[in-house]
Chain A
Amino acid sequence: MNQEQTILNPNIGWLLLVIFGLAWVALGKYWGRKADSLDGFMLAGRNVGMALGAATAMATWVTSNTIMLAPQFALKMGIWGMLAYSTASFGLFLFAPMSSRIRELMPRGYTSGDFIRLRYGKTAWVIFLFISFVYSMAWLVSMGMAGGIVLEALAGIHYIYGMSMILLVCVLYTLVGGLYAVIGTDFIQSLVILLGILFIGTVALFNIDLPTAHEQVATHQPALLNVAMPVALLSLFNNMFFGIGEVFHNNVWWSRAFAMRRKVVSKSFFLAGIFWLPIPVAAGFVALFSNSLGINITDIDMAGPLVAGKLLGSFGAMVLFIVVFCSLGSSIDSLLAATSDLLTEDVYRKMINPSASDARTRKMATYIIIGLGVATWLICYGRLGNLIVVLFLSGPLVSSAIWPVLGGLYWKKQNRTGAIVAMVFGSVVGLYCYWEIGWFVASLISTLISMCCMLVSNLVSTRTYDWSELAEHKS
């Protein structure tokens, strides 16, 4: 294959990488001095306010996928593709009221796994943990890969080195600071991301002659402007339910719900959704008109960086580099922390060593963070397939958990059998449809199957659940 010269000088790329890497680790160490207790390490003392809460939720949801996949969506599916990616914000909007419900029901809860175990029992819990772990690893790997690809595309930093540096920095400051470090750095990263995207979007608008660009797309890529494009329409719902499933089930969001002050938790998630929504639209918009800018997209995975690099020149490439690095950091640290919490609390403390002290548990959490970092690095080293394939394979799994979570929080009559069948059947059918029809229907079908199972089981169930069982304190 071809390749254009890198837009950013590799030395500048390395310099930025080292400067920001050291800054995040130092900040993580500074904020992490409060993380001496288990609650401090895992849940930032359960006292996070609205500004930090909204910032961390928004920053966590702005991943490298937002900046890399949103352009892909737009380039493949046009207008609807661009909007399809932004429907992932629905997950944050819908989780907003749920988060206050979670805090009411489980004031001393730690993980989403806690909820599923108490609500539905051990079998559902194991299935849920499997789904969550597979998805978390898929997300981690996709971001590790994306980081390596972007740094290589922008600054010529070899894929292995770029990917390794990003993972190393994130593991380090998550290790030293826990959720305090994660949320603190997320706040700064969210500001950088918002300002950076604003800059890139503004430059793009000044550089693109919209009528000409529209005419070019209409002539050479007419399907991209087709509002009835089937794949695009289906991906709208598919991505929406994938996003809802990601947020509803994953401990990244539940840990934030537990970490925030009860009075602000709902507003924080809603605000985060508002701030996040325009970002994939801006990223996709730029890619949609790449042809009119004379940019040849050689590899769909590199659409975003290629367009931004060409459009913005060296300074703009620096801005993009920093934005991508921040978006990677804000998501990888959250995933490391939340997945470590889940494995520590649900697997280590509940299954392996129930009598473990808080200090012992905290230590185990740090080992798990390191283990997750190493595992992610090993998988990223192999650099498997297309980014969309890596991540969307987990779509049917997480979508199958939407209705069990919703029903578990709000329906007294919802029983465990229904939840188990919903997750298993939804996942299996969704995966089957992924291979037989396409990725653009898998999450949607999984959600539908899961919904039917849950509605039926709720209708036929006669027993009711005692909500107070969720609110019990640990001994």
Chain B
Amino acid sequence: MRYLVALAGFFILLAVPFGMLAAAFVIPEENSVVSEDGTLQLEWEGSGADASFRIERSKNPEFLDPSLVYQGPDTATFVSGLTEGDHYFRLREGDRTWSDGALRVRVEFVSQNLVTVLLCAGTLCLTLLVFFLVQGHLGKPGGGSLPAQSSKPGKTIDSTVA
């Protein structure tokens, strides 16, 4: 009897049209990822050729206010310009059900303190670079000067190598 039930279940599974299974994201592989620059590469798989896919994004997992990310036959898209915080993505092929579980993307920008420090340091570095370049070019004291005319016979370049 057990074997009959198992066999029946097997045939029921076989009878389920493959196309009723939801499309799914293949990249990223995890259901939850972190992005530090607000970008994301999405790739997905569907049932086969001539499929049309729809991807929606929302700031909440219930997709109360979804916005369209992509609709068409492609199986990849590059998302950018996401603001800080959590973003949820879901995928659907044609009129079928949405993908199982939304993809959560947390956007965390680089620390503002680090940015401030590096920007200030970068500005200082650039300023000093330009300053010393201009100073040297104008031949101010402390900067370089043209080589003096040598009265000695020319030495070989290699003689100065340590």
Question: What residues make up the interface of A, taking CB atoms closer than 8 Å to B?
Answer: 1-4, 75-78, 94, 97-98, 100-101, 104-105, 114, 117-118, 121-123, 125, 217, 219-226, 229-231, 233-234, 237, 240-241, 244, 296-300, 303, 350, 354, 402-403, 406-407, 409-412, 416, 437-438, 440-441, 444-445, 447-448, 451, 466-475
A416 nearest in chain B by CB position = B162
A241 to B121, alpha carbons, bound, how many Å?
Answer: 12
If the complex has contacts A231-B36, A234-B110, are A121 and B162 also in contact, measured as CB distance less than 8 A?
yes
* A468 with B119: CB separation less than 8 A: no
> Which residues of B in the span 14-28 have a Cβ within 8 Å of any Cβ on A?
none
* B158 with A350: CB separation less than 8 A: yes
- Across-interface contacts of B70 in A (CB, < 8 A): 296
Instruction: From B1-9, B79-87, B89-97, B98-106, give the one contacting chain A.
Output: B79-87
Question: What residues make up the interface of B, taking CB atoms closer than 8 Å to A?
Answer: 36-39, 41, 43, 67, 69-70, 72-78, 80-83, 107, 109-112, 114-115, 118-119, 121-123, 125-126, 128-130, 132-137, 143-148, 150, 154-158, 160-162
Sample of 14 A–B contacts (CB below 8 Å): A2-B73, A78-B81, A98-B133, A223-B38, A229-B38, A230-B115, A231-B38, A234-B110, A234-B115, A444-B121, A444-B122, A447-B125, A472-B154, A472-B157
* B132 with A406: CB separation less than 8 A: yes
- Across-interface contacts of A244 in B (CB, < 8 A): 129
- Across-interface contacts of B129 in A (CB, < 8 A): 94, 244, 402-403, 406, 451
If the complex has contacts A77-B37, A448-B121, are A217 and B81 also in contact, measured as CB distance less than 8 A?
yes
- Across-interface contacts of A224 in B (CB, < 8 A): 80-81
* B143 with A410: CB separation less than 8 A: yes
* B150 with A237: CB separation less than 8 A: no
A-B contact count (CB 8 A): 178
CB < 8 Å: which of B41, B43, B72, B128 contacts A296? Answer: B72
* B135 with A297: CB separation less than 8 A: no
* Beyond A230-B111, A474-B156, 8 extra complex contacts between A and B, CB < 8 Å: A94-B133, A97-B136, A100-B137, A118-B161, A296-B70, A406-B129, A406-B133, A444-B118
Q: Dominant SS at the B interface? A: mixed
- Across-interface contacts of B162 in A (CB, < 8 A): 121-123, 416
* B121 with A117: CB separation less than 8 A: no
A98 nearest in chain B by CB position = B133
Q: How far is the CB of A299 from chain B (nearest CB, A)?
A: 7
- Across-interface contacts of A222 in B (CB, < 8 A): 81, 83
CB < 8 Å: which of B77, B107, B118, B135 contacts A237? Answer: B118
B135 nearest in chain A by CB position = A410
* A445 with B110: CB separation less than 8 A: no
A323 to B162, alpha carbons, bound, how many Å?
Answer: 47
* A445 with B118: CB separation less than 8 A: yes
Q: How far is the CB of A447 from chain B (nearest CB, A)?
A: 6
A437 to B39, alpha carbons, bound, how many Å?
Answer: 16
CB < 8 Å: which of B81, B110, B158 contacts A354? Answer: B158
Q: How far is the CB of B130 from chain A (nearest CB, A)?
A: 7
A121 to B132, alpha carbons, bound, how many Å?
Answer: 23
If the complex has contacts A1-B76, A234-B115, A412-B144, are A223 and B83 also in contact, measured as CB distance less than 8 A?
yes
A470 to B148, alpha carbons, bound, how many Å?
Answer: 11
- Across-interface contacts of B130 in A (CB, < 8 A): 94
- Across-interface contacts of B111 in A (CB, < 8 A): 230
If the complex has contacts A94-B129, A472-B155, are A441 and B118 also in contact, measured as CB distance less than 8 A?
yes
If the complex has contacts A300-B41, A410-B143, are A229 and B148 also in contact, measured as CB distance less than 8 A?
no
- Across-interface contacts of A1 in B (CB, < 8 A): 43, 74-76
A78 to B150, alpha carbons, bound, how many Å?
Answer: 55
If the complex has contacts A409-B144, A438-B110, A467-B144, are A300 and B118 also in contact, measured as CB distance less than 8 A?
no
A234 to B37, alpha carbons, bound, how many Å?
Answer: 11
* A234 with B119: CB separation less than 8 A: yes
- Across-interface contacts of B132 in A (CB, < 8 A): 406-407, 410-411
A22 to B143, alpha carbons, bound, how many Å?
Answer: 49
B128 nearest in chain A by CB position = A451
CB < 8 Å: which of A221, A237, A410 contacts B122? Answer: A237
A121 to B161, alpha carbons, bound, how many Å?
Answer: 5
- Across-interface contacts of A441 in B (CB, < 8 A): 118
If the complex has contacts A224-B80, A296-B70, A445-B118, are A76 and B37 also in contact, measured as CB distance less than 8 A?
yes
- Across-interface contacts of B154 in A (CB, < 8 A): 472-473, 475
If the complex has contacts A75-B80, A299-B76, are A438 and B157 also in contact, measured as CB distance less than 8 A?
no
If the complex has contacts A217-B81, A411-B144, A468-B150, are A237 and B119 also in contact, measured as CB distance less than 8 A?
yes
If the complex has contacts A78-B81, A98-B133, are A470 and B156 also in contact, measured as CB distance less than 8 A?
no
* A75 with B78: CB separation less than 8 A: yes
